[in-house]
Amino acid sequence: MGEGNEQTNDQDTSLGYAARITHRAFSKTLQKRLAKHGVPIGQWNFLRVLWRKDGLTQKALSDELGIMGPTAVVALRAMEKNGLVKRIRNKDDRRKVNIFLTDKARSLEEVLMPYIDEINALASAGITEADIEAYHRVSQIFRNNLQADD
């Protein structure tokens, strides 16, 4: 890896695999908590973005989440059916659809967001602040290196 750039298929040393299983562990832990409130994990990131930027166009929301338009359409239909969002045709450009949170979705923010701190505390138990800072620093380098390949 590092200096030697040795190739490996070993899951024990694969950076991508380590990131994947860590992400899955975080997601599974969050999913258990969200389920208590009837929110599927697939709708979580939509809510997080809309809590900060309510009224985005469907396209802007897709771009913000880094997903394809059709994927967003399916999720937003489910969220609308679940009473979390309203899709409203843009008055200035009828081709665009703006996504607005319902009161139900807005009220979930104060209930669901504390789970982030709770899960981060759970995950970081026994880890020093210096190691957490190193994790963030190295993760950013990974992202920068991989984005440079785009």
What gap in Å lies between CA 64 and CA 46, rounded to an integer?
9
Q: Which CATH number fits domain 15-122: 2.70.98.70, 1.10.10.60, 3.10.310.30, 1.10.10.10?
A: 1.10.10.10
Q: Above 60 in pLDDT, residue 15?
A: yes
Q: Using N-to-C axis directions, what is the helix angle for 114-123 and 15-35, rounded to 10°?
A: 140
Q: Mean pLDDT over all residues of the chain?
A: 93
Task: Assess contact for 76 and 68: CB atoms under 8 A.
Answer: no
Output the pTM of the full model: 0.82
Q: Flag whether pLDDT at 45 surpasses 80.
A: yes
